[in-house]
Amino acid sequence: MARITFKAVTKRYAGDVVAVRDLDLEIFDKEFVVLLGPSGCGKSTTLNMIAGLEEVTEGELWFDDEIVNTLPPHRRDVAMVFQSYALYPHKSVYENIAFGLRMRRVAAEEIDRRVRDAAAKLEISHLLQRRPSQLSGGQRQRVALGRAMVRQPAVFLMDEPLSNLDAALRISMRAEIKHLHTAMQTTFVYVTHDQAEALTLADRIVVMNDGVIQQIGAPDDIYERPRNTFVASFLGNPPINYLDGTIEGADGAVSFRRGGMRVALPPALAARLRGSPGREVKLGIRPEDVSRHGLGAETPAMEGIVDTVLPVGSDRFLGLKVEGCDVFVRVDKQAHHREGEPVRLALVPERLHVFDKASGLSLLADGAP
């Protein structure tokens, strides 16, 4: 079992610098949780508190039914994979993987069995006699994973483990880590600022900013139903577009209005905003949530002038000027537009996001203002 629970945990450094504030979080046994956010948001500090490398200033940290605030790292049954690999340059791959087991005085036969089993799973058996300097970045990362695997920990911690790899290798290593979690059936806690890693790997994502949790949920949940503009902006590439405007209602219908642009809102949102005419809001439109097709007299649409055209293989991106705002959208590669050309794109009301302008909170979320 490896259930991790934070109860009102705060981490404060000298000088009254708060890295993590009043953190309440439960990570379930065998779950893959990704801590996601920008640099300095508190995600690595949270990971280090689980590992015992940072002390909890206030609150309680539990492993299953035991408070571990003062439990030393070597008694926590966790293994950690670092961004820098942290391999011993003078030792072979075999010895790097075996080192932790030797320190724990595990029998030589058991060490050999675990090392060779991990190497086979990671497809590095042919590298066991090499030194780290003779390996590629991806191979070094596999060695670091193997060293953690042989410990057979209750909790597997990873701090930006793929950030030093090139783009193509990162994609293949994500698959390796996903397979590793399935095979090991162990609790994984993974720190990254890369949204693609989070969306690919996580059972649940914990989005953090300024030491505070912004939202917790499954990847699709976080992406499709962001609770505020920070979460909506942090996930999505290219990022979500925002248009400032107001709510207006007539004959029971509710619409977003900005200048000459009027967009009818879906029933669920309209019902919440029917009594809020004139309310200032932000309309969020993800680049992929537009279409050149299905345009009709009653279809909600966005009109603009093409400012830039960026073909990227299977897709084509357009930079538009819409009611004085810059908007970036994705269209299919058959779309042929020229700079300066007017364009009209259909919007799907159910795919729109509306946020309160003052607070940044989603008006579709439970408990919306």
Distances (CA, A) of 250 to 119, 264, 276, 299: 67, 11, 12, 17
pLDDT reported for residue 239: 93
Give the closest residue to 68 by CA, choosing from 1, 22, 6.
Answer: 6
Using pLDDT thresholds of 50, 70 and 90, give the confidence band for residue 274: confident
Q: Note the pLDDT tens digit of each residue in 131-154.
A: 999 998 888 888 988 998 898 899
Tokens for 157, please give them.
Answer: 């911690």
| Residue 89 confidence (pLDDT) | 92
Q: What percent of the chain has pLDDT over 90?
A: 62
The whole-angstrom separation of Cα 63 and Cα 43 is 18
pLDDT at 130 over 70: yes
Reported as a pLDDT band with limits 50, 70 and 90, residue 251 is: low
pLDDT-derived band at 250, boundaries 50, 70, 90: low
| pLDDT value for 266 | 78
Handedness of CA 194, 196, 200, 205 (dihedral sign): positive
Asked if the model's pLDDT at residue 367 lies above 60, the reply is: no
pLDDT of residue 267: 80
How open is the CA angle 108-114-118, to the nearest 5 degrees?
A: 145
**What does the pLDDT read at residue 38?**
94
Single pTM value for the model: 0.90
pLDDT in the model for residue 271: 80
Are 218 and 62 a contacting pair, CB within 8 Å? no
What pLDDT sits at residue 348? 82
Domains of the chain, first to last: 4-226 (3.40.50.300), 241-356 (2.40.50.140)
Q: Which two tokens stand for residue 20?
A: 């993590």
